[in-house]
């Protein structure tokens, strides 16, 4: 977090705003690269895409820090959730018809 604007760490509202807007912006850059590759004939620059995914991850880490979590813990929570949802691997029926409380 040494590269974050200290205001984002000192003011949770600014931190969450920075997180959400940063994720939108960087995810948009990822989406634009994929769109151009799939629909406009551009070569996919995997190294550039990897860097943009790194930017997305940086904002995820910021958001985790703002809410008092370690990014690794959030990632494990997601793995645990998906293992419970899809114990035998992805299932489109389970995806379409989730149990109550499965977020």
pLDDT, position 19: 98
Domains in the chain: boundaries: 1-67, 72-98
Summarised one tens digit per residue, pLDDT across range 77-97 is: 999 999 999 999 998 998 998
DSSP string across 80-102: HHHHHH-BTB--HHHHHSPPTT-
pLDDT digits (tens, 9 = 90+) for 56-80: 999 999 999 999 999 999 999 999 9
Q: Say how many Å lie between the first and final Cα of the chain, rounded.
A: 29
Residues paired with 89 in a beta bridge = 87
Q: Are 59 and 23 in contact (CB under 8 A)?
A: yes
> Could you report the per-residue pLDDT of 3-34, keeping only the tens digit for each?
999 999 999 999 999 999 999 999 999 999 99
């Amino acid at each position: 977090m040494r590269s974050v604007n200290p205001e984002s760490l000192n003011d949770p509202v600014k931190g969450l705003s920075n997180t959400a807007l940063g994720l939108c912006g960087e995810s948009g850059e990822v989406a634009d690269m994929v769109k151009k590759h799939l629909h406009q004939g551009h070569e996919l620059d995997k190294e550039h895409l990897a860097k943009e995914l790194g930017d997305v991850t940086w904002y995820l880490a910021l958001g985790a820090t703002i809410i008092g979590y370690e990014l690794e813990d959030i990632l494990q929570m997601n793995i645990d959730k998906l293992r419970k949802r899809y114990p035998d691997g992805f299932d489109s029926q389970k995806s379409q018809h989730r149990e109550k409380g499965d977020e």
